[in-house]
C-alpha cells in the first residue's frame, strides 16, 4: 500500500465562504515523492507554486506554516532564492514575492501557457462565465494534478491549491484524463493503481470502464463529494496535440450548486473547448485552418480539422467532436 494513502485523506481540504485566500482552508494534496529525492530542490519548486497560488506577498512564517517547513529552513530558503533573483523583497516589511525572472522561465516552452496564450485566455473566460474555479488538469504517474488554477470569483467558492493531486480512477478530473486512453491502457493503469492503493480504495475494472464509457458518450466527467465532501468537479479533455500528454479543463465548485447547474456548466465547458480547438487550428503552425461556428456545441463545433502533425487530433477525439 502506498505510504501516501493517508496523505490524500488529510489533503481533501475544506470549503468555506470567503472573499480572500485563507491559507488554512485551501484544498491541497501533493503527489507522493520517491524516496531518493533532493529535498531542497523539491522545496524550491513548492515555494514557487505557493506564490503562484496565493498571488501576493507572504512572510516567512506564512510560507513555513503553509508548506510545513521549519521556520529556520524556510527563512534560509527564501533568502537564497531572493539572492539569486527569483524572489523580491515585498513592499511590506519582511515579506517576499516572486520576481519577473520567474515569469520568464517557462514562457518559451509552450505558448499555450503564457498569460496571453489561447488556453489561459479560454480558462479566464470560462471563469468569468461560471464564476467558479477553473483548473487545467494533467497526469502525473497514477494521479492527475491541477497544473494551472483560475480561482473562483463568486462569494461562496472553493479555493483549490495549484499542484493539488487527485486519484485517476476515483475523481472527475482523473476520469476526464482516462477518457483519452483506450481501454487496454486504462486496464494496465488500473492494475498499477490498485496495487498501490489501500483495500478500501480499490476500483473494479468493469465499474471504471463503465464510467469512462459514460464520459466519452457525454463529452465530460462529473463527480461530486467523491474526494472532498461538499465539492464537485466537471471536467472534459482537451483535443490532443501530438507529442503532448493528455490535458483536461475542469470546473470546480460547491457540489449541491454544481448538481443543479450541471447542464449549464457542461454547455459552457464544451463551448470553451470548441473555442480553444479553433484558436489552436488558426494559430498553430500556419498551415492549420479551422472554423468554429458561434453557438456550436462540443459534439458538433469543429467544422474543419487542423492540418499538420503538430495539431493532429486523434481519431477518437474527432469521433466525439463530430
Largest CA distance in the chain: 58
CA distances from 46 to 29, 49, 162, 312 (A): 12, 5, 10, 34
Instruction: Report the distance separating Cα 117 and Cα 209, nearest Å.
Output: 34
Residue 292 has pLDDT above 80, yes or no: no
For residue 37, what pLDDT is reported? 72
Instruction: Report the distance separating Cα 314 and Cα 69, nearest Å.
Output: 44
What is the arithmetic mean of pLDDT over 93-103?
A: 81
Percent of the chain with pLDDT over 90: 48
What is the arithmetic mean of pLDDT over 46-67?
A: 92
Query: Rounded to the nearest 5 degrees, what angle is found at the Cα of 217, between the Cα atoms of 290 and 183?
Result: 100
DSSP 27: B
Phi-psi region of 170 (alpha: psi -120 to 50; beta: other; left: phi over 0): alpha
For residue 24, what pLDDT is reported? 52
Instruction: Report the distance separating Cα 269 and Cα 63, nearest Å.
Output: 34
pTM: 0.66
Q: Which domains does the chain carry?
A: 35-105 (1.10.10.10), 111-321 (3.30.450.40)
Give pLDDT tens digits for 117-147.
Answer: 888 899 999 999 999 999 999 888 889 989 8
CA distances from 54 to 39, 48, 70, 279, 313 (A): 22, 10, 20, 29, 35
For residue 19, what pLDDT is reported? 34
What value does the mean pLDDT of the chain take?
A: 78
Q: Which residue has the higher pLDDT, 109 or 57?
A: 57
Q: Which residue has the higher pLDDT, 72 or 290?
A: 72
What is the arithmetic mean of pLDDT over 149-155?
A: 89
Q: Which of 271, 264, 287, 284 is nearest to 321 (CA)?
A: 271
Return contacts of 187-195, CB within 8 angstroms, 24+ apart.
Answer: 189/142, 192/142, 193/142, 193/167, 193/168, 193/169
Pseudo-torsion of CA 139, 141, 144, 147, nearest 10°? -60
Q: SS3 for 273? A: helix
What is the arithmetic mean of pLDDT over 271-300?
A: 58
Residue 220 has pLDDT above 70, yes or no: yes
DSSP 140: E
For residue 231, what pLDDT is reported? 93
Give pLDDT tens digits for 223-263.
Answer: 999 888 999 999 999 998 766 778 999 999 999 999 999 99
Residue 93 has pLDDT above 80, yes or no: no
Amino acid at each position: 500500500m502506498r505510504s501516501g494513502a493517508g496523505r490524500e485523506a488529510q489533503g481533501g481540504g475544506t470549503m468555506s465562504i470567503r472573499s480572500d485566500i485563507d491559507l488554512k482552508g485551501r484544498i491541497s494534496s501533493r503527489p507522493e515523492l520517491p524516496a531518493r529525492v533532493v529535498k531542497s530542490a523539491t522545496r524550491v519548486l513548492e515555494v514557487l507554486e505557493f506564490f503562484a497560488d496565493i498571488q501576493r506577498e507572504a512572510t516567512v512564517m506564512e510560507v513555513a506554516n503553509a508548506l510545513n517547513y521549519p521556520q529556520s529552513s524556510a527563512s534560509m530558503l527564501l533568502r537564497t532564492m531572493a539572492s539569486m533573483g527569483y524572489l523580491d523583497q515585498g513592499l511590506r516589511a519582511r515579506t517576499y514575492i516572486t520576481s519577473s525572472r520567474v515569469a520568464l522561465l517557462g514562457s518559451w516552452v509552450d505558448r499555450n501557457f503564457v498569460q496571453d496564450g489561447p488556453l489561459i485566455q479560454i480558462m479566464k473566460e470560462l471563469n468569468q462565465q461560471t464564476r467558479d474555479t477553473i483548473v487545467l488538469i494533467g497526469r502525473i504517474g497514477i494521479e492527475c494534478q491541477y497544473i494551472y488554477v483560475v480561482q473562483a470569483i463568486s462569494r461562496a467558492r472553493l479555493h483549490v491549491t495549484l499542484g493539488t493531486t487527485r486519484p485517476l480512477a476515483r475523481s472527475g478530473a482523473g476520469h476526464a484524463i482516462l477518457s483519452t486512453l483506450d481501454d487496454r491502457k486504462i486496464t494496465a493503469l488500473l492494475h498499477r493503481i490498485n496495487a498501490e492503493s489501500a483495500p478500501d480504495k480499490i476500483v473494479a475494472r468493469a465499474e471504471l470502464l463503465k464510467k469512462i464509457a459514460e464520459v466519452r458518450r457525454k463529452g465530460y466527467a462529473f463527480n461530486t463529494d467523491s474526494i472532498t465532501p461538499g465539492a464537485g468537479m466537471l471536467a472534459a479533455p482537451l483535443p490532443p496535440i501530438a507529442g503532448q500528454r493528455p490535458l483536461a479543463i475542469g470546473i470546480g465548485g460547491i457540489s449541491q450548486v454544481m448538481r443543479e447547474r450541471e447542464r449549464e456548466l457542461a454547455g459552457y465547458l464544451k463551448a470553451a473547448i470548441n473555442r480553444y480547438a479553433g484558436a489552436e487550428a488558426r494559430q498553430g503552425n500556419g498551415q492549420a485552418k479551422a472554423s468554429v461556428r458561434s453557438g456550436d456545441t462540443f459534439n458538433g463545433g469543429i467544422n474543419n480539422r487542423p492540418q499538420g502533425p503538430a495539431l493532429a487530433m486523434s481519431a477518437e477525439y474527432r469521433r466525439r467532436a463530430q
